[in-house]
Structure 1
Amino acid sequence: MPSLLHEVCIRHLQGLVTTFLTDVASARSGCIGTFAENILDASSADVKLANISDKARRSPDLQFKHQDAPKPGIVIEVAYAEQGRDLEKMARQYIEGTGGDCKVVIGVDTPYHYSKSKDWTVSMWRTTFVHKEGIELPFLVATPVMLNKSFRTKDGSAVNQDCAIDVHLTDFAPDRLCQDVEPVPLQITFPELHKMASKALEARNRDMAAERAWTGGVPHNRAPRTPSPSDELRSDDEMAIRKLEYQVEEMTRKTDNDFPSPTSSGYPTSPPRGRKN
Structure 2
Amino acid sequence: MPTEIHERFIDKVEDDIRSQLKTIQNGSGKKAEFAQKVHPARSTYIRLGASTLSKSKYEPDALFRHKEAQYPGVIVEVAYSQKKWCLGRLAENYILDSDASIRAVVCVHIKYGNKESRKATLLVWRPKLLTTNNGLELQAIEGVADVAFRNKEGKPVDQPGLRLRLSEFAYKGLT
Per the normalisation by structure 1, the TM-score is: 0.57
Is the 1:115–1:154 contact (alpha carbons within 8 Å) kept by the matching residues of 2? no
Could you say which residue in structure 1 is the equivalent of 2:43? 44
Give the superposition deviation at 1:48: 1.2
Distance across 1 between alignment mates of 2:23 and 2:118:
35
| Match runs of 1:1-277 below 5 Å | 1-27=1-27, 29-50=28-49, 55-117=55-117, 119-132=119-132, 135=135, 138-159=136-157, 161-178=158-175
Q: CA RMSD in A?
A: 2.1
Report the identity percentage. Answer: 27
Distance across 2 between alignment mates of 1:142 and 1:70:
19
- Mark the structure with the bigger radius of gyration: 1
Is the 1:5–1:112 contact (alpha carbons within 8 Å) kept by the matching residues of 2? no
Q: SS in structure 2 opposite 1:164? A: coil
Distance across 2 between alignment mates of 1:115 and 1:49:
38
Distance across 2 between alignment mates of 1:156 and 1:25:
32
More helix by share: 1
- Equivalenced residues, count: 172
Q: Which residue identity lines up with residue 10 of structure 2 in the other structure?
A: I
Q: Which residue identity lines up with residue 49 of structure 1 in the other structure?
A: L
Distance across 1 between alignment mates of 2:154 and 2:86:
24
Per the normalisation by structure 2, the TM-score is: 0.88
More strand by share: 2
Q: SS in structure 1 opposite 2:164? A: strand
Give the superposition deviation at 1:115: 4.5
Is the 2:117–2:154 contact (alpha carbons within 8 Å) kept by the matching residues of 1? no
Distance across 2 between alignment mates of 1:56 and 1:176:
23
Give the superposition deviation at 1:132: 4.2
Residue deviations 1:47-91 (CA, integer Å, cap 9, x gap): 21239xxx5211000100111111110111000133433111110
Q: 1:158 to 1:42 in 2, by over 3 A?
A: closer
Q: SS in structure 2 opposite 1:171? A: helix
Q: Between the two structures, name the one with larger relative contact order (CA 8 Å, sep ≥ 6).
A: 2
Is the 2:125–2:140 contact (alpha carbons within 8 Å) kept by the matching residues of 1? yes
Distance across 1 between alignment mates of 2:115 and 2:68:
41
Q: 1:156 to 1:13 in 2, by over 3 A?
A: closer
Is the 1:78–1:107 contact (alpha carbons within 8 Å) kept by the matching residues of 2? yes
